[in-house]
Amino acid sequence: MRILPVFWLLTAAALPVQAAGLDDPFATRAALPSPAPCATPLPATALSAVDVVDLALCNHPQTREVWAAARAQAALVGVAQALWLPSLNGTLNATRYDDQNSAYSRRSATLNAAWLLYDFGQRSANVDNAQALLAAAAATQDATVQALFLAALQSYYTAQATRAAVASALEAERAAREAHAAAHARYEIGVATPADRLQAQTAWSQATLNRIRAEGDARNALGTLAYALGFAASQPVQLAAMPALPNDLAFQKDVAALIAEAQARRPDLKAAEAQFKAAEAMVELARAQGRPTLALAGGPWWQDTAGTTLRGNTLGLTLNVPLFSGFDTTYRVQVAAAQREVRAAQRERIRNQVALDVWRAYQSLTTASQSLKTAADMVASAEQSAAVVLGRYKAGLGTVLDVLSAQSVLASARQQRIQAELDWHVYRATLAQAMGALDYSLLLQTAAEGRP
């Protein structure tokens, strides 16, 4: 049997890929970031911000969802690239014939190879579309990871803030108890009225109630954090101490430059750009589907009928020319062109949203930085004022109302400082996420800046 060497050599070149059983012969997943190994159990040590992010990214089902979606799109790139290779199919057939005059068997075997030689851009457009969608899937994966990163940090900082609020409430309760003791002592020696003692008692009870509520909020925040990490809300969680705030809280950067940088880095904008390119490729694919195709096919065949054996080879070219398809191609092109306009509008909308996100996060962080310094000064002055007023009251000067008012101002100042610290941490992470740059380096930088 004679074999056409060049054609069969080209066909056989694809066989080792299939025979080897490789998981990804076209290396389509090379464009995807490799998932880092995860340690899903809750560690025995107190949790830092890095631990919280690790656990959240490892345990959250949305992480697995976007990774699986990206792998699926990578496989579709392989499907598109496979169209460039020849196909090889074998057929075996055995038939038994019986009639009134005779009975005989027919057996045949065919090995057929087919190779699409030219299709006026269909395969190229298909590969371009699949690769653009893969880039969009990879960018979407990055955007999802950053969103989960930010959500985990928000839960962690909220839990830290509620823990600080409990400490502040305990201090306020201690101060109210001290004020009550002073009012009671003055009442016992006859230099204070019953109203003074009752007012101090009421303030002490209110401080105790505030402490109870703060402890409840702290327990709820820890349950929410445990849930965000993929555990039951009842799972005990220990928090490590927060690193000290940096000495220099000033945040002065050109917001226009930040917006430009964000528009170059934001993964959701990259995904929108890739979706637009995929839509452009679909327009080319729709146009190419109405054009001719040229294919090469052939192979050896064998047939045995009632003891008579025949062998041969086939080789042929097939030119397929679409003449009329009921305007199907026309409308397919219109659909693809309209989808391209949709993707272009989505890209522009996301570009504007990126600018808005950066602007808001920048202004919020600037405000938080200024508020944090002011709140620290306010706490310092309120502590001094409360100490002076209580000392004066114990010495027989001033009224219990002065003491209670000073303690109320101090408690409010401490709460505002706690809120300012929470806002600073959250808005700093929010700005990084708005910039498309939220990663572990932010946490390491925070720890380094807070070192004495």
Please, what is the average pLDDT of the chain?
A: 87
Q: Which residues contact 130 (CB under 8 A, 6 or more apart)?
A: 73, 76, 77, 79, 80, 81
* Predicted local distance difference test score (pLDDT) of residue 32: 78
What φ, ψ does residue 341 adopt, rounded to 5°?
A: -65, -35
Residue 27's region, left for phi above 0, alpha for psi from -120 to 50, else beta, is: left
CATH number of 46-86+108-449: 1.20.1600.10
Q: Residue 451 pLDDT more than 70?
A: no
* Predicted local distance difference test score (pLDDT) of residue 11: 46
Q: Residue 247 pLDDT more than 80?
A: no
- pLDDT top residue among 67 and 451: 67
Which of 85-94, 104-113, 250-259 comes out lowest in average pLDDT? 250-259
pLDDT band at residue 249, thresholds of 50, 70 and 90?
Answer: low
- pLDDT top residue among 249 and 158: 158
Average pLDDT for 10-27:
56
* Predicted local distance difference test score (pLDDT) of residue 13: 46
Q: Residue 7 pLDDT more than 60?
A: no
pLDDT band at residue 2, thresholds of 50, 70 and 90?
Answer: very low
From CA 338, how far away is CA 362, in angstroms rounded? Answer: 36
Q: Which residues contact 111 (CB under 8 A, 6 or more apart)?
A: 88, 89, 90, 91, 299, 300, 301
Exposed, middle or buried: residue 81 (CB in 10 Å: 0-12, 13-18, 19+)? middle
pLDDT digits (tens, 9 = 90+) for 141-150: 999 999 999 9
Q: Which residues contact 82 (CB under 8 A, 6 or more apart)?
A: 26
pLDDT digits (tens, 9 = 90+) for 130-187: 999 999 999 999 999 999 999 999 999 999 999 999 999 999 999 999 989 988 888 8
For the chain, percent of residues with pLDDT exceeding 90: 63
pLDDT digits (tens, 9 = 90+) for 216-234: 999 999 999 999 988 899 9
* Predicted local distance difference test score (pLDDT) of residue 4: 42
pTM of the model: 0.81
pLDDT digits (tens, 9 = 90+) for 179-210: 899 888 888 888 778 888 899 999 999 999 99
pLDDT digits (tens, 9 = 90+) for 316-373: 999 999 998 889 999 999 999 999 999 999 999 999 999 999 999 999 999 999 999 8
Q: In what order do the strands lie in the sheet with 87-98?
A: 87-98, 103-118, 293-305, 308-320
Q: From the CB of residue 306, how many other CB atoms can be counted at a distance below 10 Å?
A: 10
Asked if residues 94 and 107 have their Cβ atoms less than 8 Å apart, the reply is yes
Average pLDDT for 422-448:
86
pLDDT band at residue 22, thresholds of 50, 70 and 90?
Answer: low
Query: Residue 369 is inside which H or E element, if any?
Result: helix 328-394
* Predicted local distance difference test score (pLDDT) of residue 189: 83
Asked if residues 166 and 210 have their Cβ atoms less than 8 Å apart, the reply is no
pLDDT digits (tens, 9 = 90+) for 276-305: 999 999 999 999 999 999 999 999 999 988
CA angle, 450 then 451 then 452, to 5°: 115
* Predicted local distance difference test score (pLDDT) of residue 304: 86
Exposed, middle or buried: residue 201 (CB in 10 Å: 0-12, 13-18, 19+)? middle
From CA 409, how far away is CA 236, in angstroms rounded? Answer: 34
* Predicted local distance difference test score (pLDDT) of residue 250: 61
